[in-house]
Amino acid sequence: MTGFRCLPLFAVTLLAACAAQPGVNSAAAPGAPVTIGIIGINDFHGALEPPRTSAIVGDGKGGVIQVPAGGAAYLASAVTGLRNQYSHSLTVGAGDLIGASQLASSLFLDEPAIGVMNRIGLDFNAVGNHEFDRGRDELVRKQTGGCRQLTALKPCRLERFGGARFAYLAANTIEANGRTLFPATAIRSFGSGKGRVKVGVIGLTLKETGDLSSREGLKGIHFADEADTVNALVPKLKAQGAAAIVLLIHQGGYTKSDAPDPSTCPQLTGSIKPILDRLDTRVDVVVSGHTHWSYVCDYAQYNPAKPFLLTSAGVFGQYVTDIALDIDPVSRKVIGKRGRNVIVQSEAYTTRSGEVTLKEQYPRYMLDVGIFHYVGRYVDASKGEIQRAAGKLAGEVRRPGGDSSWSGGSLGALIADAQLAATRKSGAQIAMMNPFGVRAPHLLSPAADGRLTFGQLYSVQPFTNGLVTQSLTGAELKAVLEEGLDDTQPKQLMSVSEGFAWTYDLARPAGSRVVSMTLDGKPIDPAATYRVTTNSFLANGGDSFATLAKQRDAAIAPQTDIEALEAWLSGPGLRAVPPEERASRAAP
């Protein structure tokens, strides 16, 4: 797993280009295979600055190594270095480049994240579910530019926003008029004369995007089946002369290994598999995302009839995928394909557990000075908000396992407690928080005196959702918890507020897995009515919690979720750390 190796790392140095591999950029002989480089990223989530998280890889001795990775200026250097290996290349994204972003990007409506991708030279990006966080119209503004105010935040605060210079692709995002929100496909030509070849690109999001985004901002839009959509488009691209087809899809999988290697694909699971198993075999490469996992798969090892090259580059720009396609210009067929994930090693950082140092065995990337200064303008403009004091906490709270976990841990419990406290005046007795809404870095680690900053709070609660308190019967409350444990969507063990406890048994059939529920030690009465608070995303049926979408006797809190969390942590003294979970497995 080698990458683009350059000169030693300096504080701020422009990476123009290090020497390409010998002969890589030389012109191909007539009739010789044409190599196209595909540089893939996904799930950047507005990570303008190094995210103070690590790529985790095996050390060859049964342990793991933490490699500090990510950040826009380093990602730009890595992309440039990989791109320079090829005479012909495309740089593509598989969605969620914006949304759930760092505060320096989010405060400015992710305009700087788009600006970074423009400067990196992105060609195409599939829409992801988080691209819709601020609604359909604001996403269109991201593509077309302009300063029309469509949200509570004012656009163009530091500069006039010119829009994305790359193209969004949205093959299965269907508007009321039957048209796609953005183009479904694109096609690019490379080379000339007898050596000319075309590459077709399809981009789409997961069909569940309507359940993962604000329904208010998606009126009139539905999301079609992924495989059906792609299979209908492949013949059209072939008819236009596409020798290779690259699918950008915001859906993904997970792998499992005791010695992680981001360029391998052991024990692949996840929602991407049934899509691939139905896909037209004329697709050559599938660049995936959504799960924040890193892998490179020869999918033929799972389904010999479907020999796709499947890739994903993790999250926050920690990796970039280097893909090469060899195309025979005479037969117009792909005759070779290969890929690897390259760690975007960036800056050492320190946690309570110690320093995460740079690792000599992995390439070090120099800062792209242009992007460094561009990002710096937005970071400086948001610094006061990022660094301001925002409460105190008696110890560290976390969501163990991060994105691979289906539970919220003590962090999810803390958020639920905060939301209950914020809505007591509306009669709230119980509050619930979806674990998948607890974002990276999945922990709050206070300073020695317990102090937290607003930037820390925002990193785990970046959506600025409202809080909704509604009436649910005990039977409906059970139905909500059952929806988190069904077999339709990835399981979520709902985090609940203090005083509420429940047990479950996954060995039981779906719909009957909640064994018991108590409030303040008393069993929940199926016929009684309880006041329950959730964030507005869940209250609109998000994450397939359909029971909550009824919103009976709903009351909207004056505080957002992030305001409620700050208020809870800003009380007198240090806020105590809640227990890890208030849900437990039933005894066998």
Residues 189-199: what's their mean pLDDT? 95
- Shared-domain flag, residues 52 and 189: yes
- Shared-domain flag, residues 130 and 237: yes
In the prediction, which pLDDT does 43 show?
96
- Shared-domain flag, residues 286 and 243: yes
- Shared-domain flag, residues 427 and 517: yes
Q: d(Cα 477, Cα 531) in Å, to the nearest integer?
A: 10
Q: What is the mean pLDDT of the chain?
A: 91
- Shared-domain flag, residues 579 and 496: yes
| Residue 141 maps to a domain | yes
Total domains in the fold of the chain: 2
Q: List the one residue out of 380, 561, 314 whose CA is nearest residue 458.
A: 561
Q: E strands along 464-525, which residues?
A: 466-473, 495-496, 500-504, 514-519, 522-523
Query: Over 90: is that where the pLDDT of 428 sits?
Result: yes
pLDDT band at 13 (very low <50, low <70, confident <90, very high): very low
- Shared-domain flag, residues 145 and 289: yes
| Residue 11 maps to a domain | no
| Residue 296 maps to a domain | yes
Cα-flanking dihedrals φ and ψ of residue 566, to 5°? -65, -40
Q: Summarize pLDDT for 98-152 with one digit per residue, the tens.
A: 998 999 999 999 999 999 999 999 999 999 999 999 999 999 999 999 999 998 8
Q: Summarize pLDDT for 18-52 with one digit per residue, the tens.
A: 333 323 443 556 679 999 999 999 999 999 999 98
| Residue 155 maps to a domain | yes
Q: Can you tell me whether residue 297 is helix, strand or coil?
A: strand
Q: List the one residue out of 585, 559, 31 whose CA is nearest residue 335.
A: 31
| Residue 72 maps to a domain | yes
Domain stop point among 318, 350, 376: 376
Domain stop point among 312, 345, 376: 376
- Shared-domain flag, residues 305 and 366: yes
| Residue 105 maps to a domain | yes
Give the domain CATH number at 526. Answer: 3.90.780.10
Q: Are strands 34-41 and 319-328 parallel, antiparallel or unpaired?
A: antiparallel
Residue 51, CB half-sphere, CA atoms under 13 Å: how many? 31
| Residue 7 maps to a domain | no
- Shared-domain flag, residues 302 and 407: no
- Shared-domain flag, residues 232 and 347: yes
Which of 588 and 187 is assigned the larger pLDDT?
187
- Shared-domain flag, residues 337 and 422: no
Burial 137-160 (b: 16+ CB within 10 A, else e): ebbbbbbebeeeebeeeebbeeee
Q: Summarize pLDDT for 383-419 with one digit per residue, the tens.
A: 999 999 999 999 999 998 877 788 999 999 999 999 9
| Residue 34 maps to a domain | no
pLDDT exceeding 90 applies to what percent of the chain?
80
Range of the domain at 454: 390-585
Give the domain CATH number at 236. Answer: 3.60.21.10
Residues 430-451: what's their mean pLDDT? 92
Q: List all residues 6 or more positions away from 65 whose beta carbon is below 8 Å from its beta carbon.
A: 56, 57, 58, 59, 359
Q: Summarize pLDDT for 176-185 with one digit per residue, the tens.
A: 999 999 999 9
Domain stop point among 333, 351, 376: 376
Q: For residue 304, say if its preceding peptide bond is cis, omega within 30 degrees of 0.
A: no
CB 310 within 8 A of CB 40: no
Most confident of 203-212, 300-309, 488-497: 300-309
Q: d(Cα 475, Cα 526) in Å, to the nearest integer?
A: 4
